[in-house]
Structure 1
Amino acid sequence: MSTDPRRRFEPELWKCLREGYSFRALGRDALAGMTVAVIALPLAMALGIASIPQNVADSLSHEYPWLTPPAMGLFTVVVAGLIISLLGGTRVQIGGPTAAFIPIVFAISLEHGHAGLAVATLMAGFLLLVGGILRLGRYIKFIPYPVETGFTAGIAVTILASQVKDLLGLTILNEDGRLATIPADFVPKISLLVSHLDSINWHAAGVGAASLACLLLMQRVAPRTPRALIVIVGASLVVSALGWHTATTHFDGMHARPVVETIGSRFGGIPSSLPSPALPGFSWSLVREMVPSALTIALLCAIESLLSAVVADGMTGDRHRPDQELMAQGAANIGSSLLFGLPATGAIARTAANIKAGARTPVAGVLHAVFVLAIMLTAASLAKLVPLPALAAVLVVVALNIAQVGEFRSLLRAPRHDVIVLLATFLLTVFTDLTIGVGVGVVLASVLFMKRMADAAADPRVRAYAADNPSDPADTPHPPDPKDPARIQQRAIPPGVEVFEINGPLFFGVVDRLNDVLRGTTRAPAVFILRLRFTFHIDASGMHSLEEFNHKCQRRGTRLLLAGVHAQPLFEMTRMGLVDRLGIENIFENLDDALARARTLIHRERAEQDHPNPAHPTPDHPTPPTHHDENPGRGSE
């Protein structure tokens, strides 16, 4: 990667063109772009329909007669897909709407309408731009794997529930006889669907079941074929040939419905051109309301796009630049919001298909957007014939694929803390929303990680040593190296002294274990030595907890000494004033000095008990430092 600051945020497309681009590469990219366009076209329409509630679609049709949900999906492919390929930091990334956004976009639109969705998408775009400029892309990888698996599985379940209505042809009406809007929340949605199972349209259910079976069969026997397009074209031909797209039936004796609903019967079709850019109408109160939604969109976009980039790196051997990718995703979402599109991100499945089709540069992604636009301009009228049960079947297969059932089942056999994080994230994503699911999952994973670090860093069965038991316990799973010259067992520990060794960072979780050790002693030791030779970092929480532990030691008449303190912890403790409060005379570079200090303190205490002389107290001088240095990398003891 170039260190030139002018090229720090250079798009991969510009880099490829600067390095040289041949007609042979153009041919490969054109073929890949056409392949992905064929995949993206039906999927975009399905995602648009699934993302926009019926009442929002109805209100949009009054204000913008040409603006329909399937058209919004196509606008997103063209606009966002083009921008991501032009500006992205991944050579073969394909951008556009994805199934993961369906529950989020649906909930935002249902509560705030199209204006709220446009404002949230615009704000998310700016958040992603700022994140890229601040170089935050590298931190997305720290989201734990159980959290990723849990929320993607939760999204998959939500998508499956959202497609039951169109897959089975259920008719759910309001009191005024118009199509009802399905609730965004999972439990009310399932309750409503179950209560209307008696309205199944068997013609539509047959089309949906046949489409689903064909998709699953082709996925197994012909995985490289554009399955979605083939099935949708086939279903459209069958429905048109049988006249089901125009015929109607009375399902309850009063209300008529199409034998099989199509894009044309519900939405009227799609436009044959792109709209003019327009700022969404918003107020500051709406902006404040949409901040959580914008954060959710930005977070999911960052996670999914960088995950897709990692998958692409594994397939091509390239290395993506996460900060440039975040900036491209931000620009793409800004552009999509201004052109009546949906939130966009990198699409893992389409990116993989792009690579398998021979793409090697971002030109393939640019051409994929151009091809989709060309199809819109020339064949928009044919979209009216597409049956909605077939589109629902496409999204059902997408949901099954992103559910990662095998990985989910495998994680159920993982350590208990990972299973807890997985199930908590999954259930909260399904029954609340993605923001709560991911937020709680990350916090829970962090807390459990700190608990494990505390256990690993400070296990009193292994790390606590006293004068009456200086040897290692026989049952310790990781006994210290007997050849280590710095072993506590090589030292003579005076009576009344306990040594506790920490193996890792010093934070509040570890100090809590120290409190357990102190409480577990039948008689408070005169001196407690805390050995920190493996502790290279301490934070504010750790320092506060250490000071609290020192107060507890003082209340029990125990003197706390620190041994083996490294430069970073010592610097931070000095800056925070902790060294002054602990006493510089109680902090040592190695264990030998600390033990010598402990002997001095114990001898002084005994002398005072045997010969009390208040008029002449023993001066409290620190033991002169020795040349020993136990810190790894700075010498041996």
Structure 2
Amino acid sequence: MNHVFYPKLLSVLKQGYSKKQLSKDLFAGIIVGIVALPLAIAFAVASGVSPEKGLITAIVAGLLISLLGGSRVQIGGPTGAFIVIVYGIVQSYGLDGLIISTILAGIILVAFGLLKLGSLLKFIPHPLIVGFTSGIALVIFTTQIKDALGLHITDMPSEFIEKWGTYFSHLGETSLVAVGITLATILISVYFKKITTKIPGSFVAIILVTLVVQIFSLPVSTIESVFGDIPKSFSLTFPNIDFQQLHIYLAPALTIALLGGIESLLSAVVSDGMIGANHRSNTELVAQGIANIITPFFGGIPATGAIARTATNVKNGGRTPVAGVVHAITLLFIMLFFGQWAKLIPMSCLAGILIVVSYNMSEWRSFVNILKGSAFDILILLVTFLLTVLVDLTFAIQIGIVLSALLFMKRMADAGAQPGFEVDSDVLENYSGLPNEIGIYEISGPFFFASAKQYSSTLKSIGIKSKVLIIRMRHVPFIDSTGMHNLKDVVKEVQHVGTKVILSGVQPNVMKELEKSRFFDLFDRTNVFPAFDQALNQATQLLEEINKTASSHH
């Protein structure tokens, strides 16, 4: 299927849809709807808009993304990554400005999809993604301190350092009740999965904490005291668009589109790995675009694929877009019939949920891993991280991409200056006499963010079909952390299905990077050979052992 736009739902229905799968999708959809409830409200409140806007986004955009999207299991809705951008746009341009920026972002996303740029967004380097994700996580954590401590500060500064200054100067006004609620929420959210993974901890936390606050009428601010009632209805809203002023919204719109595109495709790739499927990246972008064009008219905020909710969907048995549709309908029912109780949720309880979200978003393990890697990757990581936290996300992404491109040029120039590294000139490149169970894949050129995706998908498809896979790396002058991230993923997946992997002709500086990134924690070092003929001997031996074991079992 080489259409630019062909929703997965159509493919699923064409292949035939069983009752058994329907019941699994129904269950997964209801669970994800329950997971999405506290998050949708918390993301809206943290973004500086009223709580129902988060629910509307999860319902309308969630429905459209599942109906039209290119992934079987993607769940769409408001996400943590957008809190920082949305808050900034609302502060600078007001609600109308947010609606216009979101609609423009939707149009840009549709254009990305129709121009088949889905594959290009995968070229964003790994350190850049980790840099801005960790930065956003720290910013979200920072914005939640006020509610977590129950401080009543009327005018909060928007800058990161000034915010912390304000917090420290108001520490004396901390409400112990608010701190207790925040801590209780965090503990329930994190540890409830030890009791059952079927019901999300954050949902249990919200219900228990809200009940306790109501029964003992504890003195804390709630959604109602800050925002008033949560409306039970949808209405169409049309912003006042001044066409002379449209250009001001292009920068925020482009940030929403880029971040939304990257986050959705990242989520689709992660879920592909979980269910062993392939998403259609251009269809996914068009669907995300349509969702962002339509949702603002109902009063929603930007939406994208949500990694945590998508993973929850997969873990609970969702395997088709029907689960995503059920998740949207579940939220609609909750909003219509239980909305009047949602307003009783304490603000410090939402702060607790968002602190857990920011911890999970922070990717601190990846952050620490990249810091052990090459100087280039560390530079991209730290620059994007610091700009996200201290300046703003739009600027951070722009500078990060320019920096990645410049460093790539420098690396290519350095790689071109290295003498060739060739051991196997006497082996004629003829693989025809080899057994079919031995797969050979040669990577030629740098294994870096622009080629990593392509290399790893080919490697995966060869590796899964073979019993032994030889990866020839004699022509790889360098590997960056995106390449490393993808190589590790492929080796894990291929070894998981029982294929043995052998590396051949690894250059000294690539070997150094492999050691630094702890690649040999998951890979047997004795299967790395300087020359191809040695690798081939080892492969033949391994194949004989595998076949012997298999025949003795029969």
Instruction: State TM-score, norm by structure 2.
Output: 0.75
Who is 1:393 aligned against?
352
Higher-Rg member (1/2): 1
Change (3 A) 1:371 1:160: same
Q: Hey, what's the Cα distance between the residues in 1 that align with 2:166 and 2:195?
A: 37
Who is 2:5 aligned against?
9
Who is 2:326 aligned against?
367
Who is 2:409 aligned against?
450
Who is 1:49 aligned against?
45
Alignment match of 1:271 (pick from 214, 231, 235): 231
2:56 is the counterpart of 1:75: yes
Who is 1:261 aligned against?
221
AA paired with 1:75? I
Who is 2:77 aligned against?
96
SS at match of 1:305: helix
Who is 1:206 aligned against?
180
Who is 1:634 aligned against?
none
Q: Hey, what's the Cα distance between the residues in 1 that align with 2:213 and 2:94?
A: 33
AA paired with 1:382? W
Displacement of 1:279 after TM fit?
2.2
Displacement of 1:193 after TM fit?
2.2
The structure richer in helix per residue is 2
8 Å Cα contact 1:457/1:504 also seen in 2: no
Who is 1:140 aligned against?
121
Who is 1:423 aligned against?
382
Displacement of 1:286 after TM fit?
3.2
Q: Hey, what's the Cα distance between the residues in 1 that align with 2:10 and 2:424?
A: 55
8 Å Cα contact 1:82/1:369 also seen in 2: yes
AA paired with 2:389? V
Who is 2:265 aligned against?
306
Q: Hey, what's the Cα distance between the residues in 2 that align with 1:186 and 1:238?
A: 33
Who is 1:22 aligned against?
18
Task: State how 1:510-529 maps to structure 2 within 5 Å.
Answer: none
Displacement of 1:189 after TM fit?
2.1
Q: Deviations over 1:147-188 (max 9, x none)?
A: 011110000000000100111101113xxxxxx3x3333222
Who is 2:301 aligned against?
342
8 Å Cα contact 2:192/2:200 also seen in 1: no
Q: Hey, what's the Cα distance between the residues in 1 that align with 2:195 and 2:366?
A: 22
8 Å Cα contact 2:139/2:160 also seen in 1: yes
Task: State how 1:497-508 maps to structure 2 within 5 Å.
Answer: none
Q: Hey, what's the Cα distance between the residues in 1 that align with 2:305 and 2:425?
A: 53
Displacement of 1:198 after TM fit?
2.0
Displacement of 1:274 after TM fit?
1.7
AA paired with 1:262? T
Who is 1:630 aligned against?
none
Displacement of 1:130 after TM fit?
0.8
Q: Hey, what's the Cα distance between the residues in 1 that align with 2:118 and 2:159?
A: 31
Displacement of 1:194 after TM fit?
2.3
Who is 1:412 aligned against?
371
Q: Hey, what's the Cα distance between the residues in 2 that align with 1:341 and 1:10?
A: 25
Count of aligned positions? 432
Who is 2:32 aligned against?
36
Q: Deviations over 1:248-295 (max 9, x none)?
A: xxxxxxxxxxx11111111112111222x2221121243111110000
Q: Hey, what's the Cα distance between the residues in 1 that align with 2:4 and 2:300?
A: 29
Q: Deviations over 1:41-73 (max 9, x none)?
A: 111111110001xxxx5xxxxxxxxxxx11000
SS at match of 1:366: helix
Who is 2:453 aligned against?
none
AA paired with 2:148? L
Q: Hey, what's the Cα distance between the residues in 1 that align with 2:427 and 2:232?
A: 76
Displacement of 1:439 after TM fit?
1.8
Q: Hey, what's the Cα distance between the residues in 2 that align with 1:84 and 1:319?
A: 16
Q: Hey, what's the Cα distance between the residues in 1 that align with 2:198 and 2:20?
A: 22
8 Å Cα contact 2:267/2:310 also seen in 1: yes
Displacement of 1:24 after TM fit?
1.9
Displacement of 1:116 after TM fit?
0.6
8 Å Cα contact 2:76/2:304 also seen in 1: yes
> Aligned residues: percent identity?
46
AA paired with 1:170? L
Alignment match of 1:169 (pick from 104, 126, 150): 150
Q: Hey, what's the Cα distance between the residues in 1 that align with 2:41 and 2:425?
A: 67
Who is 2:362 aligned against?
403
AA paired with 1:216? V
Q: Hey, what's the Cα distance between the residues in 2 that align with 1:481 and 1:29?
A: 53
AA paired with 1:456? A
Who is 1:358 aligned against?
317
8 Å Cα contact 2:185/2:202 also seen in 1: no
Who is 2:397 aligned against?
438
The one of the two structures with greater contact order (alpha-carbon pairs below 8 A, sep at least 6) is: 2
Q: Deviations over 1:581-618 (max 9, x none)?
A: xxxxxxxxxxxxxxxxxxxxxxxxxxxxxxxxxxxxxx
CA RMSD between the two structures: 1.9
Displacement of 1:98 after TM fit?
0.2
8 Å Cα contact 1:103/1:184 also seen in 2: no
Q: Hey, what's the Cα distance between the residues in 2 that align with 1:456 and 1:374?
A: 59
Structure 1 residues not aligned, in runs of 5+:
58-68, 174-179, 245-258, 464-477, 486-502, 506-533, 535-637
Q: Hey, what's the Cα distance between the residues in 2 that align with 1:269 and 1:353?
A: 30
Task: State how 1:464-543 maps to structure 2 within 5 Å.
Answer: 478=421, 483=426
